[in-house]
Each structure stands twice: as structure tokens, then as C-alpha cells.
Structure 1
Amino acid sequence: MSSSPVPPRDQSQGPPPGYPDLGPEPLDGIHVFTVPAVPTAVVRATAVPMATISEFFDSAFGEAFPALFAAGMTPVAAAFALYTRIAESPEPEADLEIGFPVAAPLTVQLGDEPGEVEGLRVVPSELPAGAVAVTSHVGPYDGLGEAWGRFMAEISALGHSPSSPFWESYVTEPSPDIDPATLRTDLFCPVRTPDDAA
């Protein structure tokens, strides 16, 4: 594999139409877009052990969100996981939100907050606005850790500083008979440059 980064797109071009959907083809290399905030519907959790995180995903996507779809919630792009904190010790764990970008805030779509489904509370949130670096990973989910490591290193090599929260969008909907080598996951990371004064 080549480790040389592809120069990013000009931030002034803005994101593709339909953002956070980036289009039908995986992105080649790293692109940097200036993006708007996008309303989301999420299940939020803290200190989720990485060893059991798939169980959390299965519960939310298998139970909580189907109930909201039936109630009229409209997703506009693929499911995502947004990470606000990852800790490596004493055991790997994460604070995160998982859910869907939506056409309008939940309070507009469904009125009162929908409450809990199977013990999971779905709440309004958003994907953040600003400069965001994006790339695509095609392959099994167990390769995402390595893909994130490469992505962060390439962002730094381009003169940007990775920021948080960062997120991944599961463009290919998994199914029992799908070839894991064909799974596409888009990676998103807010970025800063040395000129971005705090």
C-alpha cells in the first residue's frame, strides 16, 4: 500500500450535495471540506468497553431506531458512530453517539422527545460544522483501527491537526451474506491548522 497522502480538495469547494452522503464511489485519498452542522438522532453512551461495543450497536440499531422509523423519523444518510472520547487504560473504552443524520431535528419531526425504547434513549444531536477531513475505508470493520491510524497520520502530514469529535459512517449496510472486503466506511475528522487561533 502507498502511504503517500493525496492532496486535499480546496476547503472553499464545500461538501458534496447531500452531505453527509459523499456519493456512490469511495473517496480516493483525503479531502477537506467546510461543512454545515447536520441534525442527528442518536443513542449516547459513556465508558462503553471496546470489547463489548458491538453489543451496544446491535441493541441500538436493532431495537431503538426501528421504533423511531415506524414513528416517522426520516434518516437522510447512513448510520454513524461519533466518538467524543477514547481511553486506552485501564481497559479500552469509548464515549460515543450512534445514530443517523436526519432531515430535521427530532423535535420538529416527532414533537416531544421519543423517550426510551428497550432501555435506550434516543436524543437529538448534530454532526459538527467546520473544516472536516474525510476519507473512505473499504474492507472489514476489524481494519478500521488501522485505517484511523493512517488517516490521522496523513492529516498531520498535510499540516492539519486532528480534532474531535470524530466519526465514521457505515455506507455499506451490513448483512449476513455480504463480503466483508466490500464494506465501505467513510471516516470524518475535524481539523485545525496552525493559523487557527484558539
Structure 2
Amino acid sequence: MITEFQLLDAPAVPTVVVKRAEVAATHLPELFDATFARFHAAIAEGVVAPSGPPFGLYLRMEDTLDIEIGFPGVLQSPDENLVASELPAGRIASAQYWGSFDGLPLAWAEFVSHVAGQGLSVAGPCWESYVTMPEPNMDPTTIRTDLFCAVS
């Protein structure tokens, strides 16, 4: 399920995000859809200058989630719904996942297991970068999502 496991020493990456706390996992699809619709408009209006693919950064994953959804890039003008943030710097594990979004929970389990197999542990936030956005009638095996987490 996952491929191309790597360890990186990464710099912080400036981002523009929507922050939400205590989100039930069952509400994530609606939250992502609404957030990306807002970003689509903000990019068209010149409010956001993205420099990479969209992502979801999981700050806390327990019964509910604290999450930042956004793009690497810069907030060009004030927006009441969007804030500047950053992807963390430091030692980062990464891998590619190819498949539908429904398979992400199993991909994360495989990824975290691989991290542990390297003698490392998750030491901070984890995030997904949505390299390929799905389109109607596309083969889900062609969807690429990159997985990342801070490790020690």
C-alpha cells in the first residue's frame, strides 16, 4: 500500500489553513469539501498563492481530531476564514500511498508500523498531502497521497 519510505530533515513550510478543533472523524469529508471550496474561491480571488498540493495536518488524533486543512503558500490579503501557519521542521518520515481515500486508515497503520520498524517513533504532528485530486470516474489506484509525520 505504501511506497517510497524516506527520512528527511525538513525546513518549516509556510502554509495557509483553516483550523478546526474537536472534529469527529465522520465529519471529515464534509469539512474537507467545504474547506477546499473556500480555497478554490480564495485562490481565484488572489487571496492565497499556493506553492504545493493541498494537505490535512493532524495536530491531535484521539476521540476527535484537531486539524489544519490548507495549502503550502502565502496569504496575500486578510481573510476571516484563513490563517497563516506552517508544516513543522525537523526529522520527518514520508511515504507515498496509491489508492482511494477510503484506504488511508490502513495506509496510516502500515506507515506507522514501518516507522516503528526503523527504530523511530512518531514525535509530532502527521499530515497527508493530496498530490492527485480525484475526478469522477477515475481509477482510484491512480490517486497519490503522500504521508508525513515528525519522528524521533
| C-alpha separation in 2, matches of 1:70 and 1:114 | 13
Q: CA RMSD, aligned part only?
A: 1.4
Could you tell me the TM-score, scaled by structure 2's length? 0.93
Alignment partner, residue 101 of structure 1: 72
Counterpart secondary structure, 2:112: helix
Alignment partner, residue 185 of structure 1: 145
Once the two structures are aligned, what percentage of the paired residues are identical?
44
2:52 is aligned with 1:77: yes
| C-alpha separation in 2, matches of 1:79 and 1:177 | 21
Alignment partner, residue 23 of structure 1: none
* Residue ranges of structure 2 left out of the alignment (5+ in a row): none
Counterpart secondary structure, 2:4: coil
Q: Deviations over 1:5-59 (max 9, x none)?
A: xxxxxxxxxxxxxxxxxxxxxx843100101111101000011111121001111
Q: Deviations over 1:58-92 (max 9, x none)?
A: 11101x2122212322111111000011113xxxx
- The structure richer in strand per residue is 2
Deviation at 1:154, TM superposition (A): 0.9
2:38 is aligned with 1:67: no
Q: Deviations over 1:108-127 (max 9, x none)?
A: x22xx211xxxxx1111000
| C-alpha separation in 1, matches of 2:137 and 2:84 | 33
Q: Bigger relative contact order, structure 1 or 2, given CA contacts below 8 A and separation 6+?
A: 2
Return 35-44 or 169-178, whichever deviates more.
169-178
Counterpart secondary structure, 1:164: strand
Deviation at 1:178, TM superposition (A): 1.6
Deviation at 1:156, TM superposition (A): 1.0
Asked if the contact 2:3/2:97 (under 8 Å) is kept, the reply is: no
Q: In the alignment, which of 148, 151, 156 is matched to residue 111 of structure 2? A: 151
* Residue ranges of structure 1 left out of the alignment (5+ in a row): 2-26, 116-120, 193-198
Runs of 4+ displaced beyond 4 Å: none
Aligned length: 151
Alignment partner, residue 87 of structure 2: 127
Could you tell me the TM-score, scaled by structure 1's length? 0.72
